[in-house]
Amino acid sequence: MRKVWLLALGAFALGLDAYVMAGLLPVVAHDLGTTVSLAGQMVTVFTLAYAIAAPLVAGLLSGVRPRGVILVALAVFTVGNAATALAPALGALLGARIV
């Protein structure tokens, strides 16, 4: 049961990350000197990358130990979020959101 709660927490964090940014769009756009609609692309690229990568990664790594895959995925997720926070320009922000 503990493992299910950990997976649920990870899924919640992923979903929260996808949608919390929508509320921050005006602030992000102002900080980057761009429009809100262009800053909104960070939500689109995140969900698109997730929609494309999730089934591919699941298929390619189906024979690998799930614990290791989850740990690596969480590490990549954390690095991507740190890069998002430190992005100096819109292009870097979109690249970080794809990660």
Per-domain residue ranges of the chain: 2-98
Question: Looking at residue 95, what is its pLDDT?
Answer: 94
Angle at 98 between CA 26 and CA 92, to 5 degrees: 60
Averaged in consecutive runs of 10 residues, what is the pLDDT profile of the chain (99 residues)? 79 81 90 93 90 89 85 89 93 93
Question: Looking at residue 80, what is its pLDDT?
Answer: 92
- Kindly give the residue spans of alpha helices, DSSP state H, lying in the chain: 2-23, 25-32, 36-39, 41-60, 66-86, 90-98
> What pTM was estimated for this model as a whole?
0.80
